[in-house]
Amino acid sequence: MKYHIDTIPVWDAFKQKKHCPLCALKYKVELTDVDRCLGGSVMEPDTRIRVNEKGFCARHQVLLYNQRNRLGHALMMHTHLKQSHSTLTPMFEAAEKAAKACANAPITKKLMGNKDGKAALKDAAQRILHHTESCLLCESIEENMARYAYTLMHLYKTDTAFRSAFAEADGLCVPDGAMLLKMAADHLSGELLTQFAHDLNVLMERSLTKLEGDLEWFTLKFDYRNQDKPWGDSKGSLERTANKLRTYCIGEEPIQE
Ligand SMILES: [Zn+2]
Ligand SMILES: [Zn+2]
């Protein structure tokens, strides 16, 4: 896939040292997308068609709800509900049919465990589940993040200053590190690929070790004997640990100044 290269947001995300640069980029993209969703684009037929088809996941329902635009949110959900209704009805009917076939199967089939009948019922359930798993916002955010990751590869390839910044990005979270490794496999080669994996390995080892120490001290601070000792870097280490292992989820929002 070809991406438009815009290096400035990626550079900016790496200049702040507090948060995972990719989580910070994602946070910004998400805020903009949620805002846009309930803004003017709600009325655009193109967006409406896509909302009707995909809907929103639980996380993005919460973010849309927090925007406090009940009418805009309800209008989108109403047309999505209508479309979902017509998609789901035959699915639940198929499930009922499969259950009936299961129950009415000849005794010989039942004794054999009735694998086909159960499989048809589970398949119907799976198709219903699948319908509830799509999210327009998740998809759009993912596309944007793939573009940023591609830009990051381009910067790593062409800009030595960026390479140094990357090697010092101790805030980088583990899931985003893994995502970048996948990207690197396709976009870097030879010595650069080796260096990239080395930089990532070193920064992960250093930052995980530091975090482990900080979090341990955080727990020890609850001991009254340590009450008056300094916190060091341990404040916020619980939040930093969760965010490091699972992408940003708790604590101070990764907003870039
Ligand atoms: Zn991250
Ligand atoms: Zn979503």
More confident residue, 109 or 248: 248
Q: Give the ligand with the smallest distance to the CA of 177.
A: 1
If asked whether residues 125 and 33 sit together in one domain, one would say yes
One domain, residues 124 and 47: yes
Q: Is residue 13 assigned to a domain?
A: no
Q: How far apart are CA 214 and CA 117, in angstroms?
A: 55
Residue 66 near residue 31 (C-beta atoms within 8 A): no
CA 153 – ligand 2 centroid, Å: 26
pLDDT confidence of 41, banded at 50, 70, 90?
low
Residues 203, 168: Cα–Cα separation, whole Å = 7
pLDDT at 2 over 80: no
17, 240 Cβ separation under 8 angstroms = no
Q: Is 253 inside any structural domain?
A: no
The verdict on 88 and 113 lying in the same domain is yes
Rounded to the nearest angstrom, the distance between the alpha carbon of 107 and the centre of ligand 1 is: 55
- Residues 80 and 42 placed together within one structural domain of the fold: yes
Please give the distance, rounded to the nearest whole angstrom, from the Cα atom of residue 55 to the centre of ligand 2: 9
Please say which residue of 113, 136, 159 terminates a domain.
136
At residue 77, the pLDDT reads 94
Place of tokens 């699948």: 130
Please identify, among 104, 136, 168, the residue that sits at the C-terminal boundary of a domain: 136
The CA distance from 38 to 69, in Å, is: 7
Distance 214 CA to ligand 1 centre (A): 19
Nearest to 22 by CA among 196, 167, 202, 144: 144
Q: Is residue 9 part of a domain?
A: no
Name the domain count of the chain.
Answer: 2
* 6 found inside a domain: no
Higher-confidence position of 226 and 101: 226
- Among the bound ligands, the one closest to the CA of 132: 2
What pLDDT shows up at residue 217? 97
**Encoded tokens for 192:** 């650069």
CA angle 244, 247, 7 (to 5 degrees): 105
Q: Are residues 236 and 149 in the same domain?
A: yes
Residues 160 and 115 in one domain: no
Give 73-97 pLDDT, tens digit per residue: 999 999 999 999 999 999 999 999 9
Report CA(171)–ligand 1 centroid distance (Å).
8
Q: Which ligand is nearest to the CA of 180?
A: 1
pLDDT mean over 21-37: 94
Portion of the chain with pLDDT greater than 70, in percent = 96
Is residue 69 in some structural domain?
A: yes
- Average pLDDT rounded to a whole number, residues 123-152: 95
pLDDT (tens digit, 9 = 90+) per residue, 61-73? 999 999 999 999 9
Supply the range of the domain harboring residue 120.
Answer: 19-136
Q: Does residue 43 surpass a pLDDT of 80?
A: no
Task: Read off the pTM.
Answer: 0.88
Whether residue 252 lies inside any domain: the answer is no
**Do 235 and 164 reside in the same domain of the chain?**
yes
Q: What are phi and psi of 249, to 5 degrees?
A: -140, -30
pLDDT of residue 73: 93
43 vs 173: which has the higher pLDDT: 173
Residue 241, domain member (yes or no): yes
pLDDT band of 47, cuts 50, 70, 90: confident
Coil vs helix vs strand at 111? helix
Say if residue 64 is in the same domain as residue 113: yes
Structure confidence at residue 7 (pLDDT): 92
Q: What's the whole-number mean pLDDT along residues 232-242? A: 96
Same domain, 132 and 228: no
Q: Using an 8 Å Cβ cutoff, are 239 and 252 in contact? A: yes
Smallest-distance ligand from the CA of 139:
2
23/132 same-domain check: yes
- Nearest ligand by distance to the CA of 149: 1
Q: What mean pLDDT, rounded, does the chain reach?
A: 92
Task: Look at residue 8 and tell me if it is in a domain.
Answer: no
Together in a domain, 111 and 29: yes
* Whole-number pLDDT of residue 107: 77
124 shares its domain with 49: yes
